[in-house]
């Protein structure tokens, strides 16, 4: 695995200058790829982002709230996204939003008593009201706790928004997701970076 990421690691040279030069070149290449991927995704998704933002703004205007969820790095994005709406920078109006990964008592109770696959769907069932917005983030689209959460959200009349990566995974096949944004990359890191830019823009469109 390392070989494909950093072929020079396995090269015979042990010259420090050469290593640093190679590291610098690979870093520059990755940053260029991060920028290129954003441009590709925004060119393709600009109209759909606007449609999604309008639907979210209508929900907020009618008293809806936003519930965000994800696993691992995506859980931190879910919390960041929720906090961006709840405690925005500048003069933007705060909107009701919360992450479903914030309460470790709830997460461990559900995992221990029922199973990890229900940690988000049970919370959607507990908190979700018709008119709310459910936002789930995954880099693979295959998280087995996200799919039932979207199903539960759809059943309860929530607007559903999904972020995924690669080929979209099982989230791309889910009939329960109203607005799905796929970042076509094989790198989890590049996917997360572009998803961050996507939800930043979505927030700007919703609040503007």
Sign of CA dihedral 105, 107, 157, 205: positive
Beta bridge partners of 99: 68
- The verdict on 200 binding another protein (CB under 8 A) reads yes
| Least distance to another protein, CB of residue 171, Å | 18
Select the residue interacting with another protein from 89, 91, 93, 186 (CB under 8 A). Answer: 89
Residue 137 or 176: which CB sits closer to another protein? 137
Interacting residue with another protein among 76, 117, 151, 172 (CB under 8 A): 76
Among 45, 132, 152, 193, which residue sits at the site for another protein (rule: CB under 8 A)? Answer: 193
Element (H, E) at 27: helix 16-61
Shortest distance (Å) from residue 194 CB to another protein: 9
- Residue 96's region, left for phi above 0, alpha for psi from -120 to 50, else beta, is beta
Query: CB 84 → another protein: shortest distance, Å?
Result: 7
DSSP string computed for 30-98: HHHHHHHHHHHHHHHHHHHHHHHHHHHHHHHHTT--EEEEESTHHHHHHHHHHHHHHS-STTPPP--EE
Q: Does residue 96 interact with another protein by CB under 8 A?
A: no
Find out whether 115 and 122 touch, Cβ atoms under 8 Å: no
Please identify, among the stretches 2-10, 117-125, 151-159, 172-180, the one whose residues bind another protein according to the rule CB under 8 A: 2-10
| Calculated CA dihedral for residues 81, 78, 51, 203, nearest 10 degrees | 0
Give yes or no for residue 19 binding another protein (CB under 8 A): yes
- For the bound state, the minimum distance from the C-beta of residue 157 to another protein, rounded and expressed in Å, comes to 29
- Using the contact rule CB under 8 A, the part of the chain among 4-12, 43-51, 106-114, 144-152 near another protein is 4-12
132 binds another protein (CB under 8 A): no
Report CA-CA distances (Å) from 140 to 103, 143, 164, 183, 184: 24, 7, 6, 10, 10
Q: Provide the binding-site residues for another protein, judged by CB under 8 A.
A: 1-2, 5-6, 9, 14-16, 19-20, 23, 27, 30-31, 34, 72-73, 75-77, 79-80, 83-84, 87, 89, 139, 188-189, 192-193, 196-197, 200, 204
């Amino acid at each position: 695995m390392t070989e494909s990421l950093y072929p020079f690691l396995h090269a015979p040279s042990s010259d420090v200058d050469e290593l640093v030069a190679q590291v610098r070149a690979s870093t520059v290449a990755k940053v260029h790829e991060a920028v290129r991927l954003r441009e590709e995704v925004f060119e393709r998704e600009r109209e759909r982002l606007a449609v999604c933002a309008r639907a979210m703004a209508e929900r907020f205007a009618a008293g809806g709230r936003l519930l965000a969820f994800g696993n691992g790095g995506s859980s931190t994005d879910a919390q960041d996204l929720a906090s961006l709406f709840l405690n925005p920078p500048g003069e933007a109006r705060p909107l009701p939003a919360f992450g479903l990964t914030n309460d470790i008592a709830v997460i461990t109770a559900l995992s221990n008593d029922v199973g990890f696959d229900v940690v988000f769907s049970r919370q959607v069932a507990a908190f979700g009201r018709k008119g709310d917005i459910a936002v789930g983030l995954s880099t693979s689209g295959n998280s087995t706790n996200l799919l039932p959460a979207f199903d539960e959200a759809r059943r309860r009349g929530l607007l559903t928004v999904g972020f995924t990566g690669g080929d979209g995974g099982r989230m791309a096949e889910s009939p329960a997701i109203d607005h799905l944004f796929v970042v076509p990359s094989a790198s989890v890191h590049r996917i997360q970076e572009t998803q961050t830019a996507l939800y930043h823009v979505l927030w700007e469109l919703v609040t503007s």
